[in-house]
Amino acid sequence: MRSAERLHEIRQNIKKWQDKSPLAAKEITLVAVSKTHPVEAIIALIEVGQKVFGENQVQEAAAKWPAIRKLYPDVELHLIGSLQTNKVREALALFDVIHTVDRESLADAIIKKNKTSGVRCKRFLVQVNTGEEPQKGGVMPRNFPSLLEYVRHHGFPVEGLMCVPPADALPAPHFALLRTMAEGAKTPYLSMGMSNDYETAIRFGATHIRIGTALFGERKV
Ligand SMILES: *Cc1c(COP(=O)(O)O)cnc(C)c1O
């Protein structure tokens, strides 16, 4: 199946689950996760109307996206992978949305670089490590309140929460937890759900679903 047909199918599924689910968000943004996929595959999707994409590495995005943006200035690019402090300036110039703020030192670096020129990024989400996995990015749920207080105290706009449930766990409890945390924090956006669990994420109110494999096919690297 070509990616254009997959896109069509996923859009239909989104609509179906949206209509069926009382907690579903009215507007759901499909973030097409293009990591490891070449520029031609990305352009093929842009040509059939997809406008929002996600990459998980600053370096890869820097290699692929400036050329794409020249051709299609209105595409939107989201960073969904962890961000090192020394890459903040580059990330702020490349991405429109960063989903992975997860510590005070990173927030500090963003606040500092946000005042410099060439900044494109307007929107920030906090990644929560709902499964408390040591190898994974995201703030631990118990540390979330203090991180939120810190960033708000420094005038930093957090507009949503993001999570990646553990690979071997049922996703629903993680999505429910993230939703509860976002309600408590009064942040409007919920970035959750990937190829294998986006329908569940929609039922729990996801506003951004991040889909790679179901759209582009298996990653080869
Ligand atoms: C790779 C990735 C995705 C997309 O995963 P698929 O299973 O290929 O849909 C979503 N979110 C994050 C954070 C990722 O790194």
**Shortest-distance atom of ligand 1 to CA 31:** 10
**Any atom of ligand 1 within 6 Å of the Cβ of 82:** no
- What CATH number should be reported for the domain holding residue 145? 3.20.20.10
| Residue 33 beta carbon below 6 angstroms from any ligand 1 atom | yes
Compute, in angstroms, the gap from residue 49 CA to the centroid of ligand 1: 21
Instruction: Provide the domain limits for residue 61.
Output: 3-216
Question: Which residues does 185 contact at the CB level (< 8 Å), separation at least 6?
Answer: 144, 148, 158, 161
Digit-coded pLDDT (tens) for 105-142: 999 999 999 888 889 998 999 999 999 999 999 999 99
Atom 12 in ligand 1: residue holding the nearest Cα: 80
What stretch of H or E contains 161? Answer: strand 158-162
Q: Is the pTM of this model over 0.85?
A: yes
Q: CB–CB of 127/138 below 8 Å?
A: yes
Confirm or reject: Cβ of 56 under 6 Å from ligand 1. Answer: yes
- Asked if pLDDT for residue 205 goes beyond 90, the answer is yes
For a mutational test of ligand 1's pocket, the pick from 29, 33, 196, i.e. the residue with the most ligand atoms closer than 8 A to its C-beta, is 33
Please report whether residue 188 resides in a domain: yes
Residue 182 · residue 174 · CB < 8 Å: no
Nearest to 182 by CA among 120, 105, 126: 126
Q: In the chain, how many domains are there? A: 1
| pLDDT tens digits, one per residue of 53-99 | 999 999 999 999 999 999 999 999 999 999 999 999 999 999 999 99
* Residue 221 included in any domain: no
The Cα 49–Cα 135 span in angstroms is: 36
